[in-house]
Every structure is written in structure tokens, then in C-alpha cells.
Chain A
Amino acid sequence: MESRNTNSSVFRNLDWFTVVVYVLLVLAGAVSIYAASYDFDNASILSFDEFSGKQLRWIGLSFVAGFVIMLIDFRVYEAYAYPIYIVLILLLIVTIFVAPDIKGSRSWLVMGPMSLQPAEFAKFATALALAKLFSSYNFVLNSKASNYAKALLIIFLPVVLILAQKETGSALAYMALFFVLYREGMSGLVLTAALCMVVFFVTTVKYTETMVFGIPSGELAVFFMIEALTVALIWIYCKLPSVAQILLLWFLGTGVLAWVLGLFGIEVPGLIYFLSAIGIGLVYCLINCMRHPARPILLTVAAAVFAVGFLFSVNKVFNDVLQPHQQMRIKVSLGIEDDLRGAGYNVNQSKIAIGSGGVTGKGFLNGTQTKLKYVPEQHTDFIFCTIGEEEGFLGSTAVLLLFLILILRVLSIAERQPTTFGRVYAYCVASYFIFHLAINIGMVIGLCPVIGIPLPFFSYGGSSLWGFTFLLFIMLRIDASRREHLSY
């Protein structure tokens, strides 16, 4: 190994583009926090009692941390991936027991004047462990079921512990790692199925008011979606176009028949009609098993049956299993209810703040909604409101695009990694960013239910900033040495 791993070569090979985007985001975040916590009476940017002052200190420290990460040999992260993961898992366990109760959550480790959230640091540890697992010798995700089990264990261990700390939002962020599994070979059908479940869920829960054929219009729409999906699976997945066409004709024919009968005033009982339409269709598919490869057809039929079962359980699960406040959050984000004094208050106020920004915004420190503290959590989870109000459509779009650039850059860095470890790790980084960006902004602009997760680099708090800095800079450190692998 003749390559001298000098600092100069690390900094020469460092992806400075990402660093610049990172610095831009962090500084924009600092400015936003200053604006969000700006007080008319007390305007001192350097006062450490103020959020912005504290955050500036955190930012300075995170730059130092980024520099230190650069100085450490890249092999350390791979070599110590599991120990780091285990230490963080232990920290999470300890946290459950020693953390004080802050607003119902037990996720903060208080050490003197500082308090840290181990859940934020467990992110990069989990990414390291997952990358280590995938880089182990001859590891192919799809080759053995036990490989899935190991990967899921690494992901779900922190999830369970963080859920125990009552930090649902942070725990959900680990679900983003399914993107990594997908990239590494997990069937696309899993993500498709997840997407279908979300769509079915939203449609069923949202459109319960109007009744068609005696069943809610949402459920009716999902019925049609299930029929369409079954046809698509038979056609594309089972590669049986002729069967799919007959199935399609059958579904269309029965649909039109029910509609025409309806026109003549004959009410077709919706439930019986659809169960028989889908049932007969599926039986027809099963008959084809005799002449064609049975496995894909059986899987398709199973998926369709599962989907119908899911459909019937959605409303029950929604009403009986979810907590009332969770139901309310979902209803608010789906626009079913406007609970403006309760669950909808945050989202409504944040929409008002953002909406009042206009094209160019009200100008730095001129936002009335955020200044006058209408938006709760405005310097943490709802920090994007300040940008929306003061910098307007242009400013908030710029921030979104900056994040998009960062994520796409991370994806391209991931794909240029010579090692599986580097690639998987970088994909983990991208996935976390995707999830946080999509959920946080989606919640602030009222497109997602309120899930309390921070906007990376913007939301106030050292743990989140440090967690994401570690995550990003370890990736940059590994990337900076990518050429050294080629010299093996």
C-alpha cells in the first residue's frame, strides 16, 4: 500500500461541490433560525441565550467535527462499523431509562448544560452497520432469506428503541433505508406494494362521504384500482397478454353493466357485485395455472386477495387501532377535517405563514406570522415557514432545489464508489435526506400528516445538525479515498 494517505490528498480528492452545498444550507439554516427567533426587543445575534447564538456555536463545532472526520483514515469507519453501531444501540437503551420526560418524549440525554438526542447519531451508525453487512464477503441480498433478516434486524433494532423513547417521527426516518434495500436488490414490488397501500389507505379514508352503489366512493375507486392492478400484473408480471385482455373485458363489461342497470334505476348492491366480479376474475386466473407457469399467477392472485382484504380492514384499522390524535393528524393532512384549534392549528398557521410570503417574501426579519409566534415549533420542525414567509416562493424553491441538488449529488457519489460499503453507506445518506425533506416540507405545506422530524441543517438543535454532519462527512471522507481502492 504505497499510497500515502496524507491530509493533502484527502482534501484534494474531497468533493468540494457537496461541501459548498452543505455550507450554504447550514448558513441558510442559521439565518432562518435567527429570523425565526428574532425578538423585537432583544436583537443580539451573538447572545448565547438566544436560539440563534446557540445554533451558531453548534455550527462552529460541526465544522470542526467535519474537519476532524476528514483527518481520520477512511478504513476506520468500515473497520469499526459494528462497534460504533453497538455503542449507539447501547446509548439508545440507556437513554430510555435515564432520559427525563420532555413533552412526553424520553429521547434526550442531559449532560450538564448540554442535551443530546442519541436517535440522531444512531442514524449514521445504522448506515455504517448496514453498509458493513452488505460489504461482507459474498453477501447478496436476494440469495438467502437470512440476509434479509440480518438487514432488517440492523434497521429495526434502533427503530424499536426509538419508538420506546416515544419519538415516532425519528423512528419512522429509518424506514427510508428501504430505498437502500431496493437499490441492493429487493424486489421493486415491495415498494410498489407499499405505495399501493398508501394510495389505497388515503383514498379509502378520505372519500367516505359520497356513496356509490351503496358503498363509499373511496372504496369503489380502490376496487377499480385493484382490478386494474390485477390486469397489469397478469399482463406484465405473468406475461400473459391474452389472459389479461379477457380479464380486462370481464372487468369492464361488469362495470358497464352495473352502471347501465343503475341508469335504469336498478341498484346493484356494490359489495356483492365487486366481490363476484373480482372473485370470478381471479378464479379465471387460477384456471390458467394449468397451462402456464403457476407461480407468478398464484402470486398475483394472492396480491389481489391481500389488497381486497387490506381494503376491508383500512377503515377498521383507522378507527380502532390508531390513537385519536393520530387519526386527527391524518384527517387534517388529507383535508378531511379542519381542526384549527387543535391538530390542524400548526399546519394551518404554517400554511398561512408560507402563503402570506408571496413571490418574493416579506423580507428578512419582516415576517409577521413567524415573528409574532403564530407558528408553533417554528425554529425546529416548522423552520421552513420562516423561509416561506420572509423569502417567498423564490426563496423556498431555492432551498428545495438546494436540497435536491445535494441528494442527487449524494446519489451520484454513491454510484461512483468502488466498494459496496461506500455505495451502501452513501445510499443510506441519500435515503435519510429524501425522507426528512419529503416528510418535513410535506408536513409544513400541509401535504403530509404532522410527523415531528427536523429539516436537516435548518431545524434548531445541535443533535440534528451534528447527526447529519457526521452522516454527510463520513460519506465524503470515504469518497475522498475512493481512488485508493483502485490501487489495491
Chain B
Amino acid sequence: MTAPLLAVEGLSAYYGSAQVLFDVSLALVPGEVLALMGRNGAGKSTTLKAIMGLIAARAHRLEFRGRSILDLPSYRIARLGLGYVPEERRIFTDLTVFENLEVGRQPPRSGRTPWTPERLFSIFPNLAEMSGRRASEMSGGEQQMLTIARTLMGNPDAVLLDEPSEGLAPVIVELMTKAVLAMKSEGIAVLLSEQNLSFAAAVSDRAMIIERGQIRYEGSFAELAESQEAREAYLEV
């Protein structure tokens, strides 16, 4: 088995004094898409935020590219090559599309073709037409594309992608599927938090199910599709 890019063991997280994650462990190998499935409030976003250093967390091991990131502020984690795409898009609406990409820009990493706005526009063609426009004038779907493009400007080796399909029209979700597959073909590993089973199935290699802050299931998507029990118990589809 390949050495994991991101290794998480015994991750716990807290909101104030309330514990919301219990001993979460997972490993993401280079180039794979791992779906973290679960209901709302199950702990998907919290897991991503805890890894990214955005909330108080505790772990036996939290490593990215073999280096502990537990004590690092989120900007240092991002600079190591771990990108984060938040659930609520969090676009800088006062800035133009181009400036949004500029905020995400980080020096290229060796062994990878660096991302440039031009290269990104080939994956997200509708962003090209509006590169000088203020982000506040974009539709929700376009903003969702921009938030991913912005993170890619940091030339990450892996991306934490938080519910990219939430609140999007079905046609836009189809575009999103293509975008995630394009990232995968570039060799970027993705840890995807998702509720939408059909979207996750279309892009992911493996799935984990989280429930009440604990991992309940782990396996390939093919297995999950067959495991009626797991789907009914945790995903309610």
C-alpha cells in the first residue's frame, strides 16, 4: 500500500466543552478520492475543519506528507500543500474573480505543473468570461466553481472538499462531478465530505460513514452500494 499523504489517528474535536468528534481515524493516499459520508451534523465538516486547524482538536497522530500538522496554524497547513474548500463557499464577494484567485496563489510545488488562471479556466470555462467581474455578481453555482479554483491556485497535493453539491441545482452538480474528476486526473487527492450519494459514487474510490462524530463504516463504494444495512442505517436514502 502507498504511504498515506494524510494520516489521521484518534482525532477528537470540541466546540467549547462539547466533544463533537471521537477518535476519528482515516488515511488518504495520493491521487485517490475518499468520500466521508454522513447526515448533517454527523461530523463531516467538523472533521475537515479539525484537520485544517480551524477548530480546537486533539489527536494521536495528524500528519500530512509525513509531518505533524497538529500544532500548525491553518496557513502553514495550507502551505504544506493541503487545500481546503469550505462548505459555505466563502468567496470574497468584494473582489473580482481574478483577485479571488490571487488570494489563493501560492508558489508552485516541485513535480507538478503549476496552476494558473488560464489553466483553471480550461476546467471551469464559465469563469474565464467573468474574470474581471465582482464575485458578488456570480450565481451560486459559479461561486462554487470559483471556490474550488481558488484553492487549486495554491497548488495543493490534496484537497479537503466540503459538500460541494449542497444547495446546487442538479445540472450544476453534474458540472461539479466533472470538476472533481478533472482534479483526480491531475493526481490531486481529495477528501470529500458529502451527503449526496449519487454524486459521491460518481467521483469517489472509497467511502467512510461518520455518525455522531465516530466512523461507522469504511470500504469501497462497490461494497457500500451492496450494503443495504450501512446505507439505511447511516445515510437514510
**Are A and B part of the same complex?**
no
Binding site for B on A (CB under 8 A): none
Binding site for A on B (CB under 8 A): none
